[in-house]
Amino acid sequence: MTEEQKSQIKLENEVLIKKKSYRTNDWLPILESSSLRPTEEIIGRMSIMNALVNIAFGAPIQIINNWIEFNDLTSYLSNSEAAILQKQNSKLTLQELSSLEWYLESLWSFMWLTEMISELDPEKYVGNNMASLLPNLKDGENNKKLERLTITRPAIAAYKMLDYYYRLHWYCVDERFNGRQAKLNEELIYQRRKALEWAFDQASDWDDVEMGT
């Protein structure tokens, strides 16, 4: 992806954001991201997040841990996630539970990236069809729904979406810093952007993705 293409994407996204009556920042830099992680790594991250989100809704940690080990997914855990799996449900903090629940929105980004869904609308929460598209651990399903994925969207399409959410994230943060209420949910934007950032950032662990604006 050339610098000219990235500059053009920046301009196109700024026009789109302004049409929606959100503010933009002309000096917000161009993202340096260029190539996506291997599809196998993206599927591994999706699989972990789909498993762990169940804990936020009361699933026993040991059962989720067993499922992850049985499906040979342990290597995809981040340090913070591995630490959660060493706890008892009753010892989880409200922050940990909230973080896991928000995995739904990050996972929705990955589902868009792997063409499981067609849109990634920042004005809408995850779709009602989400659960039906993913392995249902409560019903004892294995990981085949995700393992059979073989493609991701072209890097330029993924980059354009990342750039879009990056600029929307700036808008949300700036509104908050200036005592105003953004027209978008900042946490939703953050989680979706983080998934796309991670997909392009081949050096960072999930816990360490750079999310500055």
User: What sections of the chain are H helices per DSSP?
Assistant: 3-19, 39-56, 61-70, 79-84, 94-101, 103-113, 130-133, 144-147, 155-177, 186-200
Please check whether residue 75 lies inside any domain of the structure: yes
| pLDDT tops 90 at residue 34 | no
Query: Which residues, 6+ apart, have CB-to-CB distance to 140 below 8 Å?
Result: none
Structural domains counted in the chain: 1
The DSSP annotation for 56-104 comes to HTT--HHHHHHHHHHTT-GGG--HHHHHHTTS-GGG--HHHHHHHHTHH
Domain that holds residue 77: 3-28+35-208
pLDDT tens column, 151-193: 999 999 999 999 999 999 999 999 999 999 999 999 999 999 9
Please check whether residue 20 lies inside any domain of the structure: yes
What's the whole-model pTM score?
Answer: 0.96
Q: What is the pLDDT of residue 32?
A: 87
As a whole number, the mean pLDDT across the chain is 96
Q: What is the pLDDT of residue 152?
A: 95
pLDDT tens column, 42-55: 999 999 999 999 99
Q: How confident is the model at residue 103 (pLDDT cuts 50, 70, 90)?
A: very high
Q: What is the pLDDT of residue 111?
A: 98
Please check whether residue 112 lies inside any domain of the structure: yes
Burial pattern 154-178, b for ≥16 Cβ within 10 A else e, equals ebeebbbbbbbbbbbbbbbbbbeee
Please check whether residue 135 lies inside any domain of the structure: yes
| Cβ proximity of 213 and 27 under 8 Å | no
Please check whether residue 50 lies inside any domain of the structure: yes
Q: What is the pLDDT of residue 33?
A: 79
Please check whether residue 213 lies inside any domain of the structure: no
Q: What is the pLDDT of residue 173?
A: 97
Please check whether residue 179 lies inside any domain of the structure: yes
Please check whether residue 176 lies inside any domain of the structure: yes
| pLDDT tops 90 at residue 1 | no
